[in-house]
With several copies, the nearest count.
Chain A
Amino acid sequence: MASLAEKRKADVEEGPVDPRARPEELRLLEALLFASSEPLDQTALAKRMPDGVDIKAALAQLQAEYASRGVNLVRVANKWTFRTAGDLSWLMTRESTETRRLSRAAIEMLAIIAYHQPVTRAEIEEIRGVITSKGTLDVLLETGWIRPRGRRKTPGRPLTFGTTEAFLSQFSLEALSDLPGLEELKGTGLLDSRLPSGFSVPAPSDDPALRDDEEPLEIGDLELALAPAVEPEKDDGN
């Protein structure tokens, strides 16, 4: 059948062709399949077509004709329908960017990761005094501003998080050390100057080299951590 189709195709597209020589049944099939709101099987097509038409051969010919086009005639579950060519699926998507504001919880978490990195989720919760919702961490991972960088050498081996280069560029920082320290925060009035003496703000560093209490990520950790719907620390037992 395929060879017949190819031969016919050659007749149609490659030979010197009088357009009227294209069999009328191809026009009929084209129109029926195009207008139908669902794929049609051979029987349904035969019912609608004039008697005596070799539906099978006509379909094969039509399929061959459309094979190289932007729209192909495809068979789905023994029914025929026109579909956009598979290689053009990119054309069928529209990309759009939507601006989203981070939630307060996400910004807090991001700030703690920035200052305290490498830091585990449990440590973030300890600092914030609240349990972090999984969604907040997912959103932060989606921003691309944080990354899981290793695992803490403690029971449960929790993931440690740090900031990325994208973080620096988002906040126009040359280096993480440009984040203001305790005195600068007090100077700008963001921190109360009467804070207890033990209060400190760490000098942050995003040095990718693992700390002594960190061990490297394993294969699969990244996928786990980056998959938006997966709980990054779900196995940590924290």
Chain B
Amino acid sequence: MSAEILSFETGRPADFAADEPALVVDVEGYEGPLDLLLALARQQKVDLARISILALADQYLVFIEAARKIRLELAADYLVMAAWLAFLKSRLLLPEPPNADGPSAEEMATALANRLRRLEAIREASNRLMNRPQLQRDIFPRGEPESIAEIRHPRFTATLFDLLTAYAAQRQQRVLASVHLAKRTVWSLTEARASLERLVGMAEDWSRLDEYLINYVVDPSQKATVFASSFAAALEMVREGAVELHQKQAFAPLYFRKRPPQTFDAMAAPDLPVE
């Protein structure tokens, strides 16, 4: 609906005094047809229970007619209400048909009056409600409430089982821990091979494997792993043809050297390390 403020003379139903002030209509101010009807009804200055619905219907229809004359766009609600009131008016003016279905014209009029009364009653109630002292407007709570301090008392839980499990596991873990340490000192094949390759690069002639290994054995407990890994790595390098390995007899020292360039003589009579 457009937002104009309209001022116009209402039509004059019979029961209105001629000096009735002009109805100033702010159409947008109305909250629907019922609101408009209520505003019109108040012009009758009688108790809503005794209001003339016929007069009210006339007033409403005149209003709508006037609004349409100045081409005011009216919401459908208003037109529906107008049609219904026109129907009600004709029913009220005509004699009641002898055995009509549905509510009588009087009942319809009363129902409308009741709706108006209810709307008016709720408006009155809402006024009274809003006029009550309101919080933060008229009455105030404590401006500086004091907080309640929370003191937390911890209650610890632990069972004897927790305690014993923790103790046993902890002590046991410490005892077993040294075994784990020993394991970590294993000399890997990769490490052994890398070291041998470095050595082969340096020593052209026969070298004693165990003498060389001594440099790597800091901890006597590691002797076995270093020796085993180096021997395995050396065998691997022999297979690849990179080095030669020589041992005089079982448990004798192992000698190794970089494999010299292949010659027939050398193949026939390899020179041996000197003891």
Contact = CB atoms under 8 A, between A and B. Distances in A.
Instruction: State yes or no: do A and B touch (Cβ within 8 Å).
Output: yes
B60 to A, nearest CB: 13
Contact of B143 (A37, A86, A98): A37
A185 B140 contact: no
A37 B125 contact: no
Interface stretch (A7-15, A20-28, A189-197, A209-217): A189-197
Given A95-B143, A102-B157, A128-B32, A170 B135 contact: yes
Interface string A93-136: 11111111110110110111011000000000001111100000
Interface stretch (A49-57, A59-67, A153-161, A173-181): A173-181
Given A94-B148, A107-B166, A112-B122, A101 B135 contact: no
Nearest to A102: B158
A172 B135 contact: yes
Contacts of B165: 190
Interface string A130-172: 1100000001001101000000000000000000000001111
Interface residues of B, number: 64
Interface in B122-164: 122-126, 128-130, 132-160, 162-164
Contacts of B128: 180-181
Contacts of A201: 171
Contact of B125 (A115, A142, A197): A115
Interface in B154-197: 154-160, 162-172, 174-175, 177
B5 interface: no
A85 B139 contact: yes
Interface string B108-132: 0000001101110111111011101
Given A37-B145, A170-B158, A188-B121, 20 more contacts: A35-B143, A37-B141, A85-B139, A86-B139, A89-B137, A92-B147, A92-B148, A96-B136, A99-B156, A100-B154, A110-B126, A110-B129, A111-B122, A127-B122, A129-B34, A130-B34, A170-B135, A172-B132, A181-B124, A190-B169
Contacts of A184: 121
Interface in B195-230: none
Interface in B10-24: none
Contacts of B31: 104-105, 108, 128-130
Interface of B: 31-35, 37, 77, 114-115, 117-119, 121-126, 128-130, 132-160, 162-172, 174-175, 177
Contacts of A115: 122, 125, 167
Interface stretch (A76-84, A218-226, A230-238): A76-84
Contact of A86 (B32, B37, B136, B138): B138
Contact of B139 (A83, A94, A139): A83
Category for how many chain A residues contact B: 35 or more
A207 interface: no
Contacts of B37: 129
B163 A84 contact: no
Contact of B172 (A38, A84, A188, A192): A192
* Pairs A-B, 4 closest by C-beta atoms: A129-B34, A130-B32, A111-B126, A111-B167
Contact of A100 (B157, B163, B171): B157
B162 to A, nearest CB: 5
A36 interface: yes
A236 to B, nearest CB: 23
Contacts of B158: 101-102, 107, 110, 170-171
Nearest to B159: A171
B7 to A, nearest CB: 21
A56 to B, nearest CB: 22
Given A38-B144, A130-B35, A171 B167 contact: no
B119 A185 contact: no
A28 to B, nearest CB: 13
A99 B157 contact: yes
B141 A82 contact: yes
A99 B151 contact: no
A115 B134 CA distance: 18
Given A102-B157, A107-B163, A190-B114, A112 B170 contact: yes
B129 A179 contact: yes
A104 to B, nearest CB: 7
B159 A97 contact: no
B137 A99 contact: yes
Contacts of B171: 127, 191, 199, 201
B102 to A, nearest CB: 15
Contacts of A38: 143-144
Most buried by A among B135, B162, B167: B167
Contacts of B170: 108, 111-112, 127-128
B174 A127 contact: yes
